[in-house]
Amino acid sequence: MSEHAFAVLRQLSNGGFHSGEAIAQQLGCSRTLVWQAVNSIQQELGLTVFSVRGRGYKLATPFHWLDVASIRSGLSIEAAEVFTLAVAERTDSTNSQLMARASNGVLHGLVLAAELQSAGRGRLGRCWQAKLGSGLTFSLLWRFERGMAELAGLSLAVGVALARVLRRLGAPITLKWPNDVLLNHSKLAGILIELSGDALGPTAVVIGIGLNVDQPGEIDQAVATLSSANVTINRNDLLAAILNELHLVLSHFNLYGFNATLRQEWNQLSAHLDSTVNLSFARGEPISGIARGVAENGALLLETSQGLRAFHAGEVSLRSTA
Ligand code: ATP
Ligand code: BTN
């Protein structure tokens, strides 16, 4: 990608016309480099730029950047005390970045959001893809006094926090065990939790969230977007609202774990409660049964021909039979 692509995009962000010469002057580079950057913005970042002789370049749609001050202005007093915000234009993966810093004693409450990830990760080594500006991709580092063994229900608790925010905005989302947020049966958001610490002692947790506001590009399964549900919200306000809710839910989880209150809420939001589902595993035959909610340790409870069985997230994937 052209090294000037992001700088040129910043110049074009307001959606007005900007001459190649004026941009080149601002950036202290040649007009050829500006032209190459515009090509990168179109071909590699997937944004449309109009080029009109005598007027210059113009983005088809203005681009709204993630911005620390705007996010901060939407935080509650309590959340603002805890979160330290950072925005990267591009990085490999916000989870990888925070995991690398977790072992260096990096701050509790550090949030890193990226405009673009080159190696966004999902569960089980899968990829998370998102076009520039199409949604939110961010991670936060949280230190728990609990050992790893007691953090099993955490991705479900984070799902509840996301669900509260998205439902308040009018998106009738549901949750799919263990880490997906669905809208009209398609994936709107995913949660990736990674731990650094030992089984009993304090644990640093990196919570990564990817959420589609607009179409994220070509994905190998059906995806949902907030815009398709007619929810229009600025990404900075959305991130602030999610951080406020995460602050509440993570503080609750730190004290009480994935207790009856959160569990009941998760079960009510479940896309599959009392439906027949298939569980598939990295090794071995799939198992089918009726989803009967989740346990305190985050396990999925499945009514099978051999009775009620509990499954832990590990290498399990749930698929609807409908
Ligand atoms: P599981 O039920 O095992 O969690 P999953 O298909 O949701 O299955 P994950 O590892 O949770 O798998 O998520 C990664 C998958 O999400 C990718 O393989 C891809 O199919 C899908 N994906 C990637 N980017 C997006 C996106 N922006 N929006 C929706 N889905 C995406
Ligand atoms: C999943 O659905 O399996 C989880 C997807 C999590 C994606 C987010 S995007 C921000 C953070 N950084 C990553 O590399 N992954 C998470």
- 215 CA from centroid of ligand 1 (Å): 14
Examine the domain organization and report whether 104 and 165 are in the same domain.
yes
Confidence bin at 161 (pLDDT 50/70/90): very high
Ligand 1 contact via 128 beta carbon (within 6 Å): yes
The CB density around residue 32, as the number of other CB atoms within 10 Å, is 10
Ligand nearest to the backbone CA of 126:
1
**Are residues 35 and 57 in contact, defined by beta-carbon separation less than 8 angstroms?**
no
pLDDT in the model for residue 162:
98
Higher per-residue confidence, 297 vs 146: 297
Mean pLDDT of 183-197: 93
Among protein residues, the one whose CA lies closest to atom 23 of ligand 1: 128
- 122 CA from centroid of ligand 1 (Å): 6
Query: 181: domain range?
Result: 68-268
123 tagged catalytic:
yes
Examine the domain organization and report whether 226 and 90 are in the same domain.
yes
Examine the domain organization and report whether 194 and 278 are in the same domain.
no
- 11 CA from centroid of ligand 1 (Å): 34
Examine the domain organization and report whether 46 and 86 are in the same domain.
no
Does the structure show a pLDDT above 80 at 92?
yes
Examine the domain organization and report whether 13 and 97 are in the same domain.
no
pLDDT in the model for residue 199:
64
Does the structure show a pLDDT above 80 at 180?
yes
Helix axes 154-168, 235-256, angle to 10 degrees: 140
Q: What is the CATH number of the domain that holds 44?
A: 1.10.10.10
133 backbone φψ class: left, alpha, beta (φ>0; ψ -120 to 50):
left
Does the structure show a pLDDT above 90 at 35?
yes
Q: What is the CATH number of the domain that holds 144?
A: 3.30.930.10
Catalytic site residue from 123, 146, 176, 292: 123
In the chain, % of residues over pLDDT 70: 98
Residues with CB under 6 A from ligand 2: 93-95, 117, 120-123, 126, 128, 137-139, 179-180, 190-192, 208-210
**Are residues 27 and 4 in contact, defined by beta-carbon separation less than 8 angstroms?**
yes
Confidence bin at 284 (pLDDT 50/70/90): confident
Examine the domain organization and report whether 227 and 187 are in the same domain.
yes
pLDDT in the model for residue 43:
94
Examine the domain organization and report whether 188 and 95 are in the same domain.
yes
Report how far residue 79's alpha carbon sits from residue 72's, in angstroms, rounded to the nearest whole number.
9
151 backbone φψ class: left, alpha, beta (φ>0; ψ -120 to 50):
alpha
Residue from 162, 176, 192, 205 whose mutation best tests the ligand 2 pocket (most atoms within 8 A of CB): 192
Token readout for 35 is 């032209």
Examine the domain organization and report whether 236 and 194 are in the same domain.
yes
Closest to 189 measured CA to CA, from 230, 130, 237: 130
Distances in whole angstroms, Cα of residue 16 to Cα of each of 12, 43, 51, 234: 7, 20, 12, 20
Report how far residue 152's alpha carbon sits from residue 298's, in angstroms, rounded to the nearest whole number.
6
In the chain, % of residues over pLDDT 90: 83
Residue 57's beta-bridge partner residues?
A: 18, 51
- 8 CA from centroid of ligand 1 (Å): 32
Does the structure show a pLDDT above 80 at 25?
yes
Ligand 1 contact via 129 beta carbon (within 6 Å): yes
pLDDT in the model for residue 102:
85
Mean pLDDT of 166-182: 97
- 218 CA from centroid of ligand 1 (Å): 12
- 58 CA from centroid of ligand 1 (Å): 34
**Are residues 193 and 142 in contact, defined by beta-carbon separation less than 8 angstroms?**
no
**Structural element, H or E, at residue 57:** strand 56-59
Catalytic site residue from 121, 164, 176, 187: 187
Mean pLDDT of 249-262: 94
Considering the entire predicted model, what is its pTM? 0.95
Examine the domain organization and report whether 152 and 227 are in the same domain.
yes
- Mean pLDDT, rounded, of the chain: 93
Examine the domain organization and report whether 245 and 311 are in the same domain.
no
Confidence bin at 201 (pLDDT 50/70/90): low
Among protein residues, the one whose CA lies closest to atom 11 of ligand 2: 208
Atom of ligand 2 nearest to the CA of 191: 4
pLDDT in the model for residue 200:
63
Ligand 1 contact via 221 beta carbon (within 6 Å): yes
pLDDT in the model for residue 125:
87
Residue from 128, 132, 137, 211 whose mutation best tests the ligand 1 pocket (most atoms within 8 A of CB): 128
Spatial strand order of the sheet with 316-320 comes to 307-311, 300-304, 287-294, 276-281, 316-320
Among protein residues, the one whose CA lies closest to atom 2 of ligand 2: 190
Examine the domain organization and report whether 41 and 55 are in the same domain.
yes
Does the structure show a pLDDT above 80 at 322?
no
Among the ranges given (167-176, 195-204, 212-221), the one the predictor scored with the smallest mean pLDDT: 195-204
Ligand 1 contact via 130 beta carbon (within 6 Å): yes
126 tagged catalytic:
no
Q: What is the CATH number of the domain that holds 277?
A: 2.30.30.100
Domain final position from 13, 32, 59? 59
Please work out, in degrees rounded to the nearest 5, the angle formed at the alpha carbon of residue 113 by the alpha carbons of 155 and 236: 100
146 tagged catalytic:
no
Examine the domain organization and report whether 256 and 281 are in the same domain.
no
pLDDT in the model for residue 198:
66
Domain count within the chain: 3
Confidence bin at 266 (pLDDT 50/70/90): very high
Most confident of 79-93, 277-291, 306-320: 79-93
Distances in whole angstroms, Cα of residue 258 to Cα of each of 57, 82, 190: 52, 21, 19
